[in-house]
Chains A and B, each alone.
Chain A
Amino acid sequence: MTSPPVSLRERAAAVQAAPTRRRRSPRTAAWLFAGPATALFVAFFAYPLGASLYQSFTARRDGADVWVGLDQYRRLLHDPAFLHSLVNTGLILAVQVPVMIGLALVLAVLLNQSWLRFRAGWRAVFFLPAITTLVAYAVVFQVLLRTDGGLANQFLQALGLDPVDWLNSPTWARISLIGSVTWRWTGYNAVILLAGLHAIGRDQYEAAALDGAGPVRTYTGVILPQLRPVVLFCVITSTIGTLQLFDENYVLTRGGPGDATLTPVVYLYKVGFQQLDFGYAAAIAWVVVLIIAAVSLLQFRLYGRERRR
């Protein structure tokens, strides 16, 4: 065909084929955009990641790193502190995540009521804990939960109850941790769920109402089933967050008392930066990575299946 190119695409091809203009090939242009970030990822993510994997197979003996194979990983199997940290994480996953997501759902549904005024204001109030600086969060909870004269205990005493050793008894320290994590992240999840509710069309509520469903039936029967992908998204991010839990228990209890609120990531921080046992810290890190990868994979499968529905 020798007729001049007419369609947009053909003209574009003709322009690109023309050797006269100095024009970057698409591949060069692609790396122009993606290159800088890629270089940073390789230097400050891929390289240290590889280094930590290597480190997990070594141990420091007489001032030198020697290859010890899987020894560090074997050590983990018999380390009570590490096993405690796994049990604690399991406990938080089983108790805190469902409670928090449940509360967040209730809040989201209530915030979604059409008669409610100042909705943006309410939403901001519930979201506030999630944007608090970590140190501020730590300070305020330490002051609130102080055994001697803290606000929480003064409140209990005003009700005629015995004061509680919030951060120093193993059971109460766990409860305090679960409570403070819930305080920090419930509103955050509620806001995500609320956005999910907004994405469901008004007509769905009207259709349910026409069928004679009351507000409770409308939500349990029609709206919430459609919200499942968003709920699952919240569950996935909360689960990964719990498996990586560090901030809250590091600043509140340093993992104590004993190992009562120790999580794997706080433990690896202690082993790495306090005991300077880099090989062992790396091994802990990689077990955490594997657990997160396994759990995420499982949940992403569920998520994918949910989306295809």
Chain B
Amino acid sequence: MSSTTTAPGRRGRTPLPARLGRAAALAVLALGAVLSLVPFAWMLIASTHSSSELFHSPPPFLPGGDLLRNLVHLQDTIGFGRVLLNSLGIAVVYTALSALLSAMCGYGLAKYRFRGRGLLLGLVLATMMIPLQVLLVPLFQMMASLGWIDSYQAVIVPFLANSFGILLMRQGFLDFPDELLESARIDGSGELRTFYRVVLPCVRPQLGALVIFTFMGQWNSFIWPLLMLNTEDRYTVPVALNTLTGLTHVDYSGLMLGSFLATLPLMVLFLVFQRQFVAGLLGGALKG
């Protein structure tokens, strides 16, 4: 009796050991998912209770009725609406400029041979290895001498050239056929025009990944805006929330609510653009 004759009859049912294996695998995944989600669930629940209730025994497991009160309080203490707008504005401007610069530089590196190209590529790679904190003191002194402290451009400009973005875009452009560029040149299209009309539309996936990445990075950025911004109505969300942690009487519910609201846009963004995000994450790690 060959195995092929028995196979069709058994196809509908999974054998017992395999089913046990699947159950065990699901149990491990479920445990991991619970561990991943508990802090978020707790954030959500905590933001609907008053601060004093959070540390009661037993702790509240269900949403309470203080959400609106916490929201109003958050608005009163740190002007949450204004702060949210600041974060959004900074992140959008930064992302647009930085993605454009990354795409242009990546294109230059991928498609032209020029003196200093190797040096530039080395500089780009070096930035990835240098921790930001190495630059903090001299950059701070630079901003002070430019008179940029407490301004939005101090948050945006110094990190516009983004090495990860440049490398990601360069990887995308390397695959673009040179013949197409040549024929565009022969048709009399200028270099810039070729870039915007012909090349850029072809790397939309990489560009999409880069935009999401850059936005998230800027949205979450903490140390640099903390050092640069001094006036409360210029704060970004993380900086404003941080001021709440330093008080003697910490408003934990407000903090949890603010933290949840700060994370929410990124959750939505990630869920919508999951594919592009994962592609960007690899950043050419899989390609030779």
Answer yes or no: are A and B bound together in one complex.
yes
Asked whether A8 and B112 contact (CB < 8 A) given A140-B43, A273-B136, A285-B134, the answer is no
Taking a contact as CB atoms under 8 Å apart, the answer to whether A30 and B129 are in contact is no
> Could you list 19 further interchain pairs (A-B, Cβ under 8 angstroms) beyond the known A34-B114, A125-B36, A127-B270?
A27-B112, A36-B101, A40-B157, A46-B123, A48-B138, A48-B139, A51-B141, A52-B137, A124-B271, A129-B36, A131-B263, A134-B238, A136-B43, A139-B256, A157-B57, A195-B286, A244-B133, A246-B131, A289-B134
Q: For residue B237, give the distance in angstroms from its CB to the closest CB of chain A.
A: 7
Interface residues of A in 92-143 (CB under 8 A from B): 103, 106-107, 110-111, 113, 115-116, 120, 122-129, 131-143
- Chain B interfacial positions (CB closer than 8 Å to A): 14, 18, 21-22, 25, 28-29, 32-33, 35-40, 42-43, 46, 54-59, 101-102, 104-105, 107-109, 112-115, 117, 120, 123-124, 127, 129-131, 133-139, 141-142, 157-161, 166, 179, 182-183, 185-186, 188, 190-192, 195, 216, 219-220, 222-223, 227, 237-238, 241-242, 245, 252, 255-256, 258-260, 262-263, 266-267, 270-271, 274, 278-279, 281-282, 285-286, 288
Asked whether A139 and B114 contact (CB < 8 A) given A127-B270, A134-B222, the answer is no
**A148 close to B (CB within 8 Å):** yes
Interface residues of A in 158-192 (CB under 8 A from B): 158, 183, 187-188, 191-192
When distances are taken between beta carbons in the complex, the residues of chain B under 8 Å from A51 are 138, 141
Query: Residue of A at shortest CB range from B56?
Result: A149
Query: Residue of B at shortest CB range from A286?
Result: B134
In the complex, A8→B270 CA distance in Å?
45
Contact of A125 among B33, B134, B135 (CB under 8 A): B33
Query: Residue of A at shortest CB range from B105?
Result: A37
When distances are taken between beta carbons in the complex, the residues of chain A under 8 Å from B55 are 146, 148-150
Q: Per-residue 0/1 for A187-218: is the Cβ within 8 Å of any B Cβ (1 yes, 0 no)? A: 11001100110010000000000000001000
Q: For residue A213, give the distance in angstroms from its CB to the closest CB of chain B.
A: 14
Taking a contact as CB atoms under 8 Å apart, the answer to whether B220 and A143 are in contact is no
Taking a contact as CB atoms under 8 Å apart, the answer to whether B133 and A268 are in contact is yes
In the complex, A296→B216 CA distance in Å?
26
Q: For residue B247, give the distance in angstroms from its CB to the closest CB of chain A.
A: 13
Asked whether A289 and B130 contact (CB < 8 A) given A12-B185, A110-B25, the answer is yes
When distances are taken between beta carbons in the complex, the residues of chain A under 8 Å from B127 are 41, 45
Taking a contact as CB atoms under 8 Å apart, the answer to whether A233 and B32 are in contact is no
When distances are taken between beta carbons in the complex, the residues of chain B under 8 Å from A55 are 137-138
Q: How many residues of A contact B (CB 8 A)?
A: 104
Taking a contact as CB atoms under 8 Å apart, the answer to whether B139 and A126 are in contact is no
Taking a contact as CB atoms under 8 Å apart, the answer to whether B262 and A136 are in contact is yes
In the complex, A245→B227 CA distance in Å?
19
Taking a contact as CB atoms under 8 Å apart, the answer to whether B108 and A30 are in contact is yes
9 residue pairs, one from A and one from B, having the closest CB atoms: A149-B55, A136-B259, A34-B108, A33-B108, A30-B112, A48-B138, A37-B105, A40-B161, A51-B138
- Residue pairs across A and B with CB atoms within 8 Å: the count is 282
Query: Residue of A at shortest CB range from B135?
Result: A48
In the complex, A128→B268 CA distance in Å?
11
Taking a contact as CB atoms under 8 Å apart, the answer to whether B266 and A133 are in contact is yes
Taking a contact as CB atoms under 8 Å apart, the answer to whether A15 and B185 are in contact is yes
Asked whether A37 and B102 contact (CB < 8 A) given A11-B186, A26-B112, A135-B242, the answer is yes
Query: Residue of A at shortest CB range from B269?
Result: A131
Taking a contact as CB atoms under 8 Å apart, the answer to whether B263 and A136 are in contact is yes
Contact of A269 among B18, B36, B136, B241 (CB under 8 A): B136
Q: For residue A231, give the distance in angstroms from its CB to the closest CB of chain B.
A: 11
In the complex, A138→B262 CA distance in Å?
13
Query: Residue of B at shortest CB range from A158?
Result: B58
When distances are taken between beta carbons in the complex, the residues of chain B under 8 Å from A192 are 281-282, 285
**A265 close to B (CB within 8 Å):** yes
Asked whether A8 and B183 contact (CB < 8 A) given A33-B105, A149-B57, the answer is yes
In the complex, A24→B43 CA distance in Å?
57
Query: Residue of A at shortest CB range from B182?
Result: A12
When distances are taken between beta carbons in the complex, the residues of chain B under 8 Å from A273 are 136-137, 227
Query: Residue of A at shortest CB range from B103?
Result: A33
Asked whether A31 and B101 contact (CB < 8 A) given A15-B185, A45-B135, A244-B131, the answer is no
Some 24 contacts from A to B, beta carbons below 8 A apart, are A26-B112, A27-B114, A29-B191, A34-B112, A35-B108, A37-B166, A44-B158, A49-B135, A49-B138, A52-B135, A116-B25, A128-B37, A132-B266, A133-B259, A136-B241, A138-B245, A146-B55, A149-B57, A192-B285, A272-B133, A282-B134, A285-B131, A285-B133, A288-B134
